[in-house]
Each structure stands twice: as structure tokens, then as C-alpha cells.
Structure 1
């Protein structure tokens, strides 16, 4: 989240475009549209009552896999998601 989406992100717009193969503005539009049309991508609580992943995190996972052809287990440490969650996002 801090790398791309905080007020003062670690990486600039050019690096975002290179990594995700689209502008940040388009990416955020996709996040908004997917969240509005698919309840799985909306933020919710898990069975233990803890907050689940944010829509931005889930869609980042899916787009990263599509843009780079990476496998679900390649980014589990970076986004702190289990391989199963990566597959479900895609």
C-alpha cells in the first residue's frame, strides 16, 4: 500500500505504469468498478472477526498476476497473502 497508494508513495507514476502496465488512474477506476459489482472484493470481516484484505489489495494481486504472468506463490511475501487468496483474487 505504501509503495503505490499512500499520499506520498514510495514509487512514482512511471514506475506504477511499468509494473502494472496501466496508469494509476485506470487502475483505481478498475478497483472502484470491481468493488461495486462483486461483493467478494468488498472489505469484510473474517470468521475470527478480523478485517480481511482491502479491495485495493485483492485487485492489486489479480492485476499483478495478469500484467506480469506471475504465479500466485511469487508475491505472497510482498503482499502478505496466502497462495489460495491470490488464486481467489484472480
Structure 2
């Protein structure tokens, strides 16, 4: 059986070095990623709400609701998994 963890570590290192070589502005990269991620939640805010502060608050609440749903689903899947498999992971 192949050592997948070693392969993934090598692929991650190559990807990280490639990204670092292409982009020197780390804060700009993080800001662009956060903006792209939040765009989904801003789209959930009704159009009739025009106040930017209120739109940001509602987008943040939509994001928190989404993360809570993911956490709930993850917990449900972990409790359905047999104990033998949980220890192996």
C-alpha cells in the first residue's frame, strides 16, 4: 500500500512553494479569499436591505448558520460511525 500521507505532504509543500513564488502579498491573498468566501453569504441577504452595516451583519449571521449546519452534520456522521472506525481515523 502506498504511503499517501508522504505523497500529500510533498504535494502540499510544492503547492505552498509555488504559491509563495507567485504571490508576495500574503495579506492581500487572504483578503481576496475572505471576500470570495463572504460573497456567497452576501448574496443571501435580501436586496431591499441597503444599509451596508446591516448587510454585513446579516451576511455574518448567514455564515454562522452555515457553519453550524456543517458542524451538526459532521457530529451526526461521527456518531453513526462504528467505534472501531473512529479509533482508526
Is the pair's TM-score, using the shorter chain for normalization, greater than 0.5? no
TM-score, normalised by the number of residues in structure 2: 0.27
Larger Rg: 2
Q: Specify which structure has the higher proportion of helix.
A: 2
TM-score by length of 1: 0.27
